[in-house]
Structure 1
Amino acid sequence: MIRILLFLAVVFALGLGFAWLADRPGEMVVTFSGYQYQVSLMVAAVAVVAVVAAVMIVWWLLKALWNSPYTISRYFRVRRRDRGYQALSTGMIAAGAGDGALARKKTKEAAKLIRSDQEPLIHLLEAQASLLEGDHEGAREKFETMLDDPEMRLLGLRGLYLEAERLGDRNAARHYAGRAAAMAPQLAWAAESTLEDLTGRGDWDGALKLVEAQKSTRQIERDAANRRRAVLLTAKAQSLIDSDPNAAKTAALEANRLRPDFAPAAVVAAKLLFRQNEVRKGAKILEAAW
């Protein structure tokens, strides 16, 4: 747009200049080697403009010839890349449709046209093709390769998690889910699996931290986060009743504050208060819960 406006401005300026010269006739005399050349100002102006235009055209042609090898090579590179992405797209569609043969064919075609370090989705297509062919070991190798690429790491962890689940290896599945949850707590599959693992091991602080991360990334709403925190704090309080009554009391009261109508939290909080002779406060909590 700017170039068009600039071109129109130049044409307009030339038109004004020629009109100005036409209204003011005159002659220009040039003496060269004893000869005099006499032309009108209009002819001289046209000659100057023509010479400038000719020089610009010659310069453009020379520049185009000089850059032609690069331009041609860039054209073929772009064409090759476009063919590679077309093969990649077709392969992804084939993998989604369950056509393992076509997915594998397009995987090889895309790999020839695009380097995998330039387009990591080739690894995903290779893994999908391997899964469709029943080559789970090959798929796992591709998923492990994705772990080296920050952009593909979560996808690789997801693939390894699903493979571990398929094999019934719960420890490996929890390991991959935990790594994914640490990187991206908004991933429901990773967060839920990790939360189940943490609660199963009694790591209440770790579970509470994960729920807080889920809340901060808006994976779960505030009310849902408060419900989960109340349950986890109640479980934490129950596990600390004998070993650390003060910490248990703090956790139980926090759980009761988050969910006053949550009976288990109220019972545990009241029990701990009764033990410390805070009968009135404990009774008040029980009355509010019921």
Structure 2
Amino acid sequence: MIRLLIFVVLILALGFGFAWLADRPGDLFIVWQDRRIEMSLMTAVTLVASLIAAIMVGWWIIRAILYSPRTVSRYFRASKRDRGYQALSTGLLAAGAGDAAMARKMNKRTKGLLNADQEPLIHLLDVQAALIEGRHEEARKLFEAMAEDPETRLLGLRGLYLEAQRQGADEAAQHYAETAAEQAPQLQWAGSAALSYRTREGKWNEALGLLDKQRQAGTLEPAVADRHKAVLLTARARDHADS
């Protein structure tokens, strides 16, 4: 918008300038190396304006030639990235629908177009493809790798928790749930699971601490949190009385 405004102002200024010169005609004489060059003032101004315009157009062409490889490269990179995200989207949808063949195909295509280190969703597609094909050991290793990455840690912990539950490994499931709950109390699945494990083991103080974190994170409504807290306090008091 600003460029357009500047262009309009420039055109108006040029038009005003030429009109002003047209109302005040004159001649221009140039003597150079014993040669006399004579022309009207309007012609001289027109030649100067044309020369400036030619220089500007020439500079624009030279600049376009110099920057064209970078522009073309940027265009192809953007096109490659767009095709990569399209393949990733198709792959995730296929994985969600249980289409193992399509998910695997799109997973391979995505890796050829996008950098897995820069796009965490590629890891998600990896693990989803492994799960729907029944490659649970590979999926577990992928979840472990995701749990080591700060950007995908919570997703990795949830995957490990679900896999541990599937295998009946309660201790491992408890570890993953409590780790996730400590790092992100707002995660309802982690908070509920960790709270269940702690109350089952009689770890009342730890359960109360987690409940407070969940309340502060907004996971639980105040009234619900108060009811849970009352139950935990009652259970703790009863446990102390029995001991």
Describe the SS at the equivalent of 1:64: helix
User: CA–CA distance in 1 between the matches of 2:232 and 2:143?
Assistant: 34
Task: Give runs of aligned pairs for residues 34-113 of structure 1, distance below 5 A.
Answer: 34-113=34-113
Give the deviation of 1:242 after TM superposition: 7.1
Q: Quote the RMSD (CA, aligned, Å).
A: 1.5
User: CA–CA distance in 2 between the matches of 1:42 and 1:182?
Assistant: 81
User: CA–CA distance in 2 between the matches of 1:23 and 1:220?
Assistant: 82
Larger deviation, residues 109-118 vs 201-210: 201-210
Q: What are structure 1's unaligned runs of at least 5 residues?
A: 244-290
Q: Which residue of structure 2 aligns with residue 143 of structure 1?
A: 143
Deviations 1:55-87 (A, max 9, x none): 111111111111222222222222221111111
Is the counterpart of residue 25 in structure 1 residue 22 in structure 2? no
Q: What are structure 2's unaligned runs of at least 5 residues?
A: none
Deviations 1:22-75 (A, max 9, x none): 222222222211122222222222222211111111111111111222222222
Describe the SS at the equivalent of 2:148: coil
Matching residue's letter, 1:141: K
Matching residue's letter, 1:173: A
Q: Percent identity?
A: 54
Matching residue's letter, 2:161: Y
User: CA–CA distance in 1 between the matches of 2:233 and 2:42?
Assistant: 94
Larger deviation, residues 36-45 vs 181-190: 36-45
Q: Which residue of structure 1 aligns with residue 162 of structure 2?
A: 162
**TM-score, with structure 2 as normaliser:** 0.94
Give the deviation of 1:174 after TM superposition: 1.0
Q: Which residue of structure 2 aligns with residue 3 of structure 1?
A: 3
Q: Which residue of structure 2 aligns with residue 120 of structure 1?
A: 120
Describe the SS at the equivalent of 1:147: helix
Give the deviation of 1:237 after TM superposition: 2.3
Is the counterpart of residue 12 in structure 1 residue 3 in structure 2? no
Matching residue's letter, 2:151: E
User: CA–CA distance in 2 between the matches of 1:113 and 1:226?
Assistant: 51
Q: Which residue of structure 2 aligns with residue 251 of structure 1?
A: none
Which fold has the larger relative contact order, with Cα–Cα distance below 8 Å and residues 6 or more apart in sequence? 2
Matching residue's letter, 2:131: L
Task: Give runs of aligned pairs for residues 266-281 of structure 1, distance below 5 A.
Answer: none
Matching residue's letter, 2:23: D
Describe the SS at the equivalent of 1:31: strand
Q: How many corresponding residue pairs?
A: 243
